[in-house]
Amino acid sequence: MSFLSFAWNWLRAAHQWQGSDGIPVRILEHLGYSGLSLLIAALIALPLGVAIGHSGRGAFLVVNLANAWRSIPTLGLLVLMAVLLGFSALSWLIPLVVLAIPPILVNAYEGVLGVDRDLKDAARGMGMTPWQILLKVEVPVASPLIVLGLRTAAIFVVATATIAAEIGLGGLGRYIIDGLASQIYPEVAGGAALVALLALAVQVAFVLIRRVVVPVGLRMRARSS
Amino acid sequence: MIWSYIPANAALIRQLTIENAVLGIVPAVLGLIIAVPVGIACVRWGWLYPPVLSSTSVLYALPSLALFIVLIPYTGLTDTTVIIPLTLFSLCVLVPNVVDGLRSVPEPVRQAATAMGFGALRRLVQVELPLAIPVIIAGLRVATVSSISLASVGQLIGVSSLGYLFIDGLQRDFPTELYVGFVMVIILALAADLVLVLARRLLTPWQRRDARAELRVSVRPGTLGEGVVR
């Protein structure tokens, strides 16, 4: 039997869809953990990234952060936190937030740094205050990269939240980790299919967010170039 | 931290490090071998690139653990099950870099090569690809470091790597083992990264003094965005 037939057979069994460990509950849990982590990471990383890009100070730190980030083993960080902190909300929240910060920070930094100097001069010439220039020119012009950073972080967080089932977190990773432990491949396959679908849904959501957030003028320029 | 753990388990740590290195480096190399012809094709036939780019970005969004599980019925609990998804992720990082690298070759350089009598193939091999090396290696660094770090997730389906220390350390509630695994993954990733930086310097001696170009490549907008994760 193929992966798809295992996954499909497991998914269409009605009892998976009910109760406190049913699929709808697990999906909501997964979205909850991911959303909360992403929100906290964005609250920290967006202002910081914009500030660094605007002032140009601390750029060295950002570049190195980006390089170091990829080498961090996510499973290792989760397990380490679980052992050091015991199983509490912090033991999964800290790793998820820490891992979501770099892509948001670096892309916000790159986006604001890359804003055309002429644009800023024009804004100043029109009498805009420094804050107006930042919020009405630099941030909107940087918005494609800012959204890209948030999307990367979101995809990363959804994947890492799956692995966090290994340290006892709920969410869709439960089916995978529990299924592997009891060697029930259909459950593992069903969980993996749901996680993959959720990751794709998140990506589609960010295509829509990009459409809403990125100013029309920038989108037209991107299309014509 | 119980330091005596390290000498007492040196053989195990060494073996796991080698396994982890293989699971990380093989996908990056395979990814490069596939990405170079694919990238060349995308530059040659421009209409190919948008669909290739969007399929790689969809693929890249999938969690590695889910892809490992998809492959279990076909390749079992073997290294191949981990290597195939990591190769695909490497491809997602490398194809855009190969295309960007080839496109970054200045038109006058291309024309000069043609004027010197270079055919399309010779120009590609002797002029365009060498000039694209810095951007290609920037992508290879991302692919290698991510694969080494991601390989440890394969331990969840029982494929041995430094991830063993994470799972075992969790079950035994033994932080020392976790520190060792964590640090070894990072050392391995940074060592591979360093080798690639040195390889780039050897392969592109004309770039050596241009430290600024180096920085530009490593912070190319969207590099982190497109080339990352898990």
d(CA B29, CA B140): 8
Q: Which of A64, A69, A70, A143 to mutate to test the interface with B (most CBs of B within 10 A)?
A: A70
- The answer to whether A79 contacts B169, with C-beta atoms less than 8 Å apart, is yes
**B228, A79: Cβ pair inside 8 Å?**
no
Whole-model pTM: value is: 0.87
A142-195 confidence digits (pLDDT tens): 999 999 999 999 999 999 999 999 998 889 999 999 999 999 999 999 999 999
Question: Per the structure block, which two tokens stand in for A201?
Answer: 């849904």
* 3-state SS record for chain B: CCCCHHHHCHHHHHHHHHHHHHHHHHHHHHHHHHHHHHHHHHHHCHHHHHHHHHHHHHHHCCCHHHHHHHHHHHHCCCHHHHHHHHHHHHHHHHHHHHHHHHHCCCHHHHHHHHHCCCCHHHHHHHHHHHHHHHHHHHHHHHHHHHHHHHHHHHHHHCCCCCHHHHHHHHHHCCHHHHHHHHHHHHHHHHHHHHHHHHHHHHHCHHHCCCHHHHHHHHCCCCHHHHCCCC
**CATH homologous superfamily for the domain A23-219:** MetI-like (1.10.3720.10)
Q: Cβ distance B52 to B95 under 8 Å?
A: yes
The per-residue pLDDT for A70 is 85
Summarised one tens digit per residue, pLDDT across range B158-200 is: 999 999 999 999 999 999 999 999 999 999 999 999 999 999 9
Binary contact (B142, A71; C-beta < 8 A)? no
Extents of the domains making up chain A: 23-219
List domains and CATH numbers for chain B.
Answer: 9-226 (1.10.3720.10)
Question: Per the CB < 8 Å rule, is B156 touching A156?
Answer: no
- Give ipTM to 2 decimals: 0.87
Q: Could you report the per-residue pLDDT of A9-40, keeping only the tens digit for each?
A: 888 886 778 888 889 999 999 999 999 999 99
In this prediction, residue B206 carries a pLDDT of: 81
Q: CB of A214 within 8 A of CB of A167? A: no
